[in-house]
Structure 1
Amino acid sequence: MKHFPIFLAVEGRRIVLSGGGDAALAKLRLLMKTEARLTVFATDPAPDIRDWAAAGRLTLIERAMQPGDALCAALFYGADEDPAEDARTAAIAHADGALVNIVDNLHDSQFITPAIVDRDPVVVAIGTEGAAPVLARAIKKDLEDRLPPVLGTLARIGKAFRARVEALPFGAPRRAFWSDYYFAAGPRALNTGGEGALDDTLATLLTDHLNAAPKPGRVEFVGAGPGDPELLTLKARRALHEADVVIHDRLVSAEILELVRREATLIDAGKEGFGKSMAQGDIDALIVEHGTRGAHVVRLKSGDPTVFGRLDEEIEAVEAAGLAWSIVPGITAASAAVAGIGQSLTRRGRNASVRFITGHDTKGFADHDWATLAQPGEVAAIYMGKRSARFFQGRLLMHGADPATPVTVIENASRPDQRVIATTLSELEPTLTRAALTGPALTLFGLAPRAAAKLNVLPDHGGEHEPEKSIQEAFA
C-alpha cells in the first residue's frame, strides 16, 4: 500500500487550486461538495468557474499563482494542464506548506483523490493508486447502485443521536442497536413517516435496547476453507463480520483473516504437527472464557471444521459451559486439492468410496487398513501427510500396492502459490524431500492430475512452473 487512505477534516480550511480549464472543472465539482473554503487562481477561467464565484461557492483570483498564495491551505491542486506551469505552482504550494496533487501526475503528487460514492455523511472512497482507474469507476458504479440515497439521511440523523446511545454497553449491544436502526427500524420509519419520524424511532429503539435482557454468548465453529477467500461461504463471511472474538488456526490464510471485523479480538490458536502448538485444553478454555463473557465467538478452522478439526472436543467444552453453538461448514482441503488437478474423488467403475485419512494422530504416525487401501482403484485423501509420507509409502508397498500407483501432492491448495507435484507410490520419497514443501499439503493417493500441462504441475523430477497468463487470458 503506497497510499494510506484517510479522511481529512477540511471544514473551514483552505483548499487552493490553480487552473481554469476542464481539469479544474472536474476537481471543483468534487471539492464543492465539501465545507472547505475554495480559492482558484486562473488567468482564463471557464464560465462555470466565474458563475460559482459569483454565487459565493468559491473565491476566484484571475491571475497566475504567486508565492504565498497557498499559505494555510490544507490541500493544493495543480490543474493547469501544462507540465511547466503545474511544476511551478506545485513548488509554490510545497513552499507554502500545503499537500500537493497534480492532476494526472501520480509521480509528483503527495496525495491522490479517490473515486467517491457520496451519501453524505456516508462517503465511500475507492482508490487503485493510479494503477486502474477503470476498475475504480466500475466499483463506484456498483456501489452507487447498491447504496440507496436515503442512506445519507439515516446516517445524518443517527449521527446526532450517537451520544445518547453511549448509555448502552460498548461493543455488541451498541452494534445491535445501530444494526436495528439502519437495516430495520430506520428505513421502515422513513418510508412510512418521512424524515420527521426518525427522532421518535431512535428514542423508542434505544428504550427497547436498554430494557432488553443481555444476550448470552454464543460460539460458531466456522470453516475457513482451503485458503482462497472466494471459497468462503456467505454464512462464514457473515460470521467473520459479526464476531467479537475470532480464535483461528495456524493454516487460516492472511487474506481470510483480513475479512474479520477490525474491532474484533483476533487470537492465534495455531497447532503444528510435531511443532509448536497451543494445547487443546487451552483452546477449549479460551473459547469458553470469551463465550461466558457474552461474546460472539468464532472458532475459525482451516478447511471444514468437521474433518480432522478436533471439533467434538471443543463442542463438548462449550456444551459443558452451557453456551449455544452452531457449525458453519467449509470446503475441505481434499475438495480444493482434487479440483486443482481437474479430477474427481469418485468415479464409476473405478472407486465407489474415498477415504479421508490423517497422517498422524495423538500417538504418532497413524495406522490404517493398509490391505484394503492397497487394492487397485482405491483413492484416499491424506491430511497432514508430509512427515508421514515415507511411513505410508512403506506400509502400502508392504501390503502389495502397485508401485506405479499415481500419487499427487498439492501444496497450498486453491491459493495463488498452489503447487502440484505428480509422482508414483514408489517415488513418493524422495520426491517430497526434493520438493522442499513449506506450506500445507494434501496427498491424493490413486489420482494423477488431468491435463497436467495446464495445471502448473511439477513432475517428480522438478520443473518450471507454467508462465503466468495475461489478464485477457485469465478472464477469457
Structure 2
Amino acid sequence: MRYLPLAFDLLDRPCLLVGGGGIATRKARLLHKAGARLLVAAPEVGEELLELVRESGGRWLSERYEPRHLDGVDLVVAATSDSSVNAAVSADARVRHLPVNVVDSPELCTFTFPAIVERGPLAIGISSGGGAPVLARRIRAQLEALLSPAVGVVAELAASTREQVKAALPEPVRRDFWRWVFSGPVARKVEAGQVQQARAELLHSLGEWQGSPEPRGEVYLVGGGPGDSDLLTFRALRLMQEADVVLYDRLVSPAVLELVRRDAERIYVGKQKQFHAVPQEDINQRLVDLARQGNKVLRLKGGDPFIFGRGGEEIDRLADAGIPFQVVPGITAASGCASYAGIPLTHRDHAQSVRFITGHLKDGILALPWGELATPGQTLVFYMGLTGIETICRELIDHGLSKKTPAALVEKGTTPDQRVVVGDLETLPGLAEREKIEAPALSIIGGVVSLRDKLSWFRR
C-alpha cells in the first residue's frame, strides 16, 4: 500500500486551487463540501467556480500562479491544462512540505482524491493511488448500491448520543450496544423514516442495557434466491455480512453462501429427499437458543422463505419466544428459474394465472385438487416435484389436460449448471429419466412453455 488513507479536517482552512476550468471546478466542489476556504489562482474562472469561492469565504486571485500564492495555505491542488505549471506547483509545494495533488499526474502528488461514498458524516474513500480511477469509481458505484441511504442518519444519531452512551456503559458492553443499534430496531426505524422514534428507542434501550447488560440476539430470515448470487437483494447482502451464525439448507447455492461474513459460524440444516438432516422443530428451537446467546443469527433459505420454505413456522416460534427478527424476501425459484429458462409465467395468449404447488410426496401419495389444476389458461409450477413427476403428469392427463400440454423441467435453475428439458405431459417423465435430471428441479406446465425457443435468452 503506497498511499495511506487519511481524513483531512478542512473546515475553514485555506486551500489553494490552481486552475479555473471544469476539472478545477470538480475539485472545488469537494473542497467546498468539506468546508474549506477556497483560494483560486487563475486568470479566468467559470461562474460556478466563482460562486463556490464566494460561498467558502475565499478569494479569486485573478492571475497566473506564483509561488507566493502558497503562503499560509494548508493544502494545494493543481488542475490546469499546462503541465509545466502543474509541475511547478508540485515542486514548490513539496519544498514547503504542503500536501499537493496534481490532477491526472500521480507522480506529482503527495495525496490523491479517492472516489467517495458519502452518507452524512460517514465517508468512505476508494483510492487506486491515481493509477486506476475508473476502477475506483466502479467500486464506489457498487458500494453506493449496497449502503442504505439511511446509514448517514444512523451515523448522525450515533454522534449526537455518543457521550450519553459512553457515560452509561463500560466496554465491552458499550461496543455490543452500538452493534445492536446499528443492526437492530433503531436502525430499522431510521430506515422507515421514524428518526424521532429511533432516538427514543435508543435512549430507552440504553437504560435497559445499563441495568441489565445481557447478550441480545436477533434472527434474520433471508431469502437467498434460486441460486445466482446476482439475484440477492441489497438488504439480504447487508444482513449476511452482519451475522454471527448462519443456518443454511441444501437449496442455498455455494455462490450465495460465499457472500456470508467469512468468520460467521455455519450450520447446515438442509433436507434431502427422504432424509431430514435436522427436524424442523429442532431448527426452530436452535434459532431461539442461538439468539438468546446474543448472536445475530442468519436463517438463509433458497428462494423465498415464505414460499414452501417453512419460514412462517420459524418466525411463529421466534415470536412466541420474544426473539426479535427480520424477514427479507428472496426471488422465488418459480420466478428466477422460469426467467432464466426463457419461459414467461404468464402471457396474454397462454396463461392468465399462475399457481405454485408443492410436489412433495407424503407417504408416497400426492394428494392435490387435480380437477382445479387441470384447467387450461394457467401455468402450473411444481416445487420439489421431481420424484413425483410421473404422478403429476398422469393425474393432470386423467383429469382433463391434453397429454400434449407443453411441460418443462429446470434443473439447478439460474446457476452455471442449469439444464432445461422441454417436452409435454406425455413425454416429460421419460425425458427426466433419460436425461438423469437431479434435484433441485422445478416443473413448469402450461402453454407458456411453448414460447421458450423464441424467448430464451439464457443459454449455457
Give the TM-score normalised by structure 1.
0.55
Pairwise CA distance, 1:325: 7.6
Amino acid at match of 1:291: A
Measure, in 1, the Cα distance between the counterparts of 2:303 and 2:368: 26
Q: CA deviation at 1:290?
A: 0.8
Report how far residue 443 of structure 1 moved. Answer: 1.8
Kept after mapping to 2: 8 A contact 1:408/1:447: no
Q: Conserved in 2, the CA contact under 8 Å of 1:17 and 1:24?
A: no
How far 1:297 moved relative to its partner?
Answer: 3.5
**What aligned pairs does 1:41-440 form with structure 2 within 5 A after superposition?**
62-63=65-66, 79-82=79-82, 103=103, 113-114=114-115, 117=118, 119=120, 121-123=121-123, 130=134, 154=157, 156-161=159-164, 163-164=166-167, 166-167=169-170, 168=173, 170-171=176-177, 173-175=180-182, 179=187, 188=196, 206-207=206-207, 209-211=209-211, 219=219, 221-226=221-226, 245-252=245-252, 265=264, 267=266, 269=268, 271=270, 273=272, 279-280=278-279, 283=283, 286-295=286-295, 297-309=297-309, 322=321, 324=323, 328=327, 332-337=332-337, 341-344=343-346, 355-358=357-360, 368=366, 380-384=380-384, 388=387, 392-393=389-390, 396=393, 404-410=404-410, 421-424=421-424, 425-426=426-427, 430=431, 440=440
CA-to-aligned-CA distance 1:232-271 (integer Å, 9 cap, x gap):
89997997798665433354468977998x7994635363
Q: For 2:383 and 2:56, how far apart are their aligned partners in 1?
A: 70
Helix, strand or coil: the match of 1:341? coil
Cα displacement (A) at 1:342: 1.8
CA separation in 1, counterparts of 2:416 and 2:82? 43
Unmatched 5+ residue regions in structure 1?
A: 190-197, 459-463, 466-476
Letter in 1 for 2:366: H
Q: Hey, what's the Cα distance between the residues in 1 that align with 2:164 and 2:214?
A: 22
Q: Any conservation in 2 of the 1:409–1:442 contact (CA below 8 Å)? A: yes
The Cα of 1:30 is off from its aligned counterpart by: 1.8
Partner of 1:8: 6
Q: 1:214/1:101 Cα in 2 relative to 1: closer, same or farther (>3 Å)?
A: same
Cα deviation code 1:93-152 (max 9, x no counterpart): 99x999997646899999653356473x33466999637989989x99xx99x7799988
Q: How far apart, in 1, do the equivalents of 2:433 and 2:7 lie?
A: 57
* Structure 1 residue 153, shift from structure 2 partner: 6.4
- Gap change, CA 1:308 and 1:86, over 3 Å in 2: same
Structure 1 residue identity aligned to 2:19: G
Report if aligned partners of 2:408, 2:444 keep a CA contact under 8 Å in 1. Answer: yes
Question: Aligned pair 1:31/2:31, yes or no?
Answer: yes
The RMSD of aligned alpha carbons is 7.1
Residue 442 of structure 2 is matched in structure 1 by 442
Q: Secondary structure at the match of 2:287?
A: helix
Counterpart CA distance in 1 for 2:429 and 2:107 is 52
Query: What displacement does 1:444 show?
Result: 1.4
Structure 1 SS opposite 2:8: coil
Shift in CA distance, 218/174, structure 1 to aligned 2, threshold 3 Å: closer
Shift of 1:309: 3.4
Distance change in 2, residues 1:183/1:50 (3 Å): closer
Relative to structure 1, the CA distance from residue 230 to residue 53 in structure 2 (aligned partners, 3 Å threshold; closer, same or farther) is closer
2:290 counterpart SS class: helix
Cα deviation, residue 357, structure 1: 0.3
Residues 252 and 149 (structure 1), Cα distance of their counterparts in 2 relative to 1, 3 Å cut: closer
The question of whether the paired residues in 2 share the 8 Å contact of 1:393 and 1:426 is answered with no
Contact 2:288 2:318 in 1 (8 A): no
Following the alignment from structure 1 to structure 2, what is the Cα–Cα distance between the partners of residues 80 and 417?
53
Q: Which is further off, 20-29 or 156-165?
A: 156-165
AA aligned to 1:8 is: L
Aligned residues, how many?
422
Partner of 2:20: 21
For the Cα contact (< 8 Å) 2:301–2:309, is it kept in 1? yes
Please tell me whether the aligned partners of residues 389 and 429 of structure 2 are also in contact (alpha carbons under 8 angstroms): no
Residue type matched to 1:357 in 2? Answer: G
Alignment partners' CA distance in 1, 2:343 and 2:44: 62
CA distance in 1 between partners of 2:155 and 2:318 (Å): 44
The CA deviation at 1:80 is: 2.6
Structure 2: gaps of 5 or more residues: none
Residue identity matched to 2:20: G
The 3 A distance-change label for structure 1 pair 346 and 183 is closer
- Give me the whole-angstrom Cα distance separating, in 2, the residues matched to 1:53 and 1:380: 65
User: 1:379: how far off?
Assistant: 6.7
The one-letter code sitting in structure 1 at the alignment partner of 2:268 is: A
Q: Deviations over 1:271-305 (max 9, x none)?
A: 37479996458755642431232445342322243
**Larger deviation, residues 297-306 vs 349-358:** 349-358
Deviation, 1:8, is 2.6
CA distance in 1, matches of 2:338, 2:244: 34
Match of 1:473 in 2: none
Q: CA deviation at 1:441?
A: 3.7
Distance in 1, Cα, partners of 2:205 & 2:237: 27
Check conservation: 1:77, 1:103, Cα contact below 8 A.
yes
How far did 1:212 drift? 6.8
Give the residue type in structure 2 aligned to 1:368. Answer: L
8 A contact 2:168–2:210 mirrored in 1: no
Percent of matched pairs sharing the same residue: 26
Relative distance call for 1:290 and 1:349 in structure 2 (3 A) is: closer
Q: 1:354 to 1:438 in 2, by over 3 A?
A: closer
